[in-house]
Copies of this chain bind each other. A is one copy, B any other.
Amino acid sequence: MEESRPLDALNAARNKTVMVELKNGTSYVGKLRAFDIHINIVLEDAEERQNGEVKRKIGTVFVRGDTITIISPGVN
């Protein structure tokens, strides 16, 4: 069995809905449009959430990698 790398998981989630959580507690849920090795992320049709509650529709959003804690494709 071939060993997978962490970016493979992001690649598999491309164009799917993911949740991105930041160190400051804010999270963004949107379609994963792009990422790079710094884990900079672009989401489309994104919502900003605080404590699980939608704060605003934010459309396209670029999230700087070093502010991210987790990315999960399994959460809506």
Contacts and interface: CB of A to CB of B under 8 A. Distances in A.
A41 B6 CA distance: 6
Interface in A1-32: 3-10, 14, 22-24, 26, 28
Given A9-B34, A41-B6, A58-B72, A66 B63 contact: no
A71 B35 CA distance: 14
A68 B74 contact: no
Interface residues of A, number: 41
A9 B33 contact: yes
A70 B39 CA distance: 13
Interface in A33-76: 33-36, 39-42, 56, 58-75
